[in-house]
């Protein structure tokens, strides 16, 4: 995520996140489509974490929905910060700090 949102030769951030934030009433249809796109991403991540719990790769008490929301929120925040010009080294340090709170397996 960090690499794709901070490539110097490409626009910074993520259209799926930034586009929904910047759209006014005239862009409601696009904003709504981007909300669906982001929610679909969350659902895919939640389903994957559920499989990890089912397979014993994550502790049984793990809440797949909460963990998926945590990860997708972090990813969306990375996109916003990248669009604001935060460098990849700083984003990586922030991501490393966030992953230190990852549940033990």
CATH of the domain at 91: 1.10.357.10
Q: Rounded distance, CA 73 to CA 32, Å?
A: 18
Question: Is residue 105 in a domain?
Answer: no
How much is the mean pLDDT over the chain? 82
Question: Is residue 18 in a domain?
Answer: yes
- Triad 98, 105, 42: Cα angle to 5°: 55
Tell me the pLDDT tens digit for each residue of 38-71: 899 999 999 999 999 999 999 999 999 999 999 9
Domain range for 47: 2-99
Residue with the bigger pLDDT between 9 and 93: it is: 93
SS3 of the chain: helix, strand, coil, percent, to 5:
70, 0, 30
Q: Rounded distance, CA 65 to CA 9, Å?
A: 35
């Amino acid at each position: 995520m960090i690499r794709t949102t901070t490539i110097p030769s490409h626009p910074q951030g993520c259209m799926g996140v930034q586009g929904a934030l910047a759209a006014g009433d005239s862009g409601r249809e696009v904003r709504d489509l981007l909300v669906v796109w982001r929610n679909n991403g969350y659902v895919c991540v939640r389903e994957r974490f559920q499989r990890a719990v089912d397979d014993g790769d994550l502790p049984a008490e793990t809440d797949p929905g909460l963990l998926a929301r945590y990860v997708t929120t972090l990813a969306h925040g990375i996109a916003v910060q990248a669009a604001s010009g935060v460098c990849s080294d700083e984003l990586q340090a922030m991501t490393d700090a966030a992953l230190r709170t990852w549940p033990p397996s």
